[in-house]
A and B are shown apart, each in its own frame.
Chain A
């Protein structure tokens, strides 16, 4: 199975900050990685897929990069509505797996 390691697991930041979350895969997955945002009591929402493709309707302050085993999600200027938990997911092969999550909280 492909393991995904997200870092950090917790992040404290201020409105306007640039935030970067990293996701490392235990083996190469090409560009088969998606990023999700989840708020308490809600279903996850896709932000980025195929490593760097912005999902329709998602603000352009979100961006993704990487391929192979190392990926990043960047929020260029953190907004109040961005405080949430973020997950990466590999969609290269079954069993599909998620990273452990990164909780972004207000400093």
Chain B
């Protein structure tokens, strides 16, 4: 089965850090661009970050640039999102997904993980 299994997330205080991970199986991870998308409670979808299949280039939404870092380990079929200097407005369910501009879609998606930033 093609699958993305997420881990990490939880409750963190403003200014704190958190690391999300996404483990891929059932497809050739090293051939796929990967993405992070978030959804604040009761709100729509917001693209967060992308990384190329080789990991040599990354893109970020303006709202997270300079605070979040996307990375991947193709030997372990794993995608990561390091989130620093977290703000209350970063509270959301975070999804990883495979795909991007070349694929013209995001598929599959991880199950999502909740990040809550609160004091």
Contacts and interface: CB of A to CB of B under 8 A. Distances in A.
A91 B101 contact: yes
Contact size range, A: 20 to 34
Interface in B1-48: 35, 37, 44-47
B100 interface: yes
B44 A87 contact: yes
A78 B104 CA distance: 26
Tell me whether chain B's interface is mostly helix, strand or loop, or mixed.
strand
Contacts, number: 65
Tell me whether chain A's interface is mostly helix, strand or loop, or mixed.
loop
A55 B105 contact: yes
B44 A98 contact: yes
A86 B64 CA distance: 25
Interface string B77-119: 0000000000000000001000111011111011110000000
Interface residues of B, number: 24
B43 to A, nearest CB: 9
B61 A46 contact: no
Interface of A: 32, 34, 36, 38, 43-46, 49-50, 53, 55, 87, 89, 91-101
Interface of B: 35, 37, 44-47, 50, 59-62, 95, 99-101, 103-107, 109-112
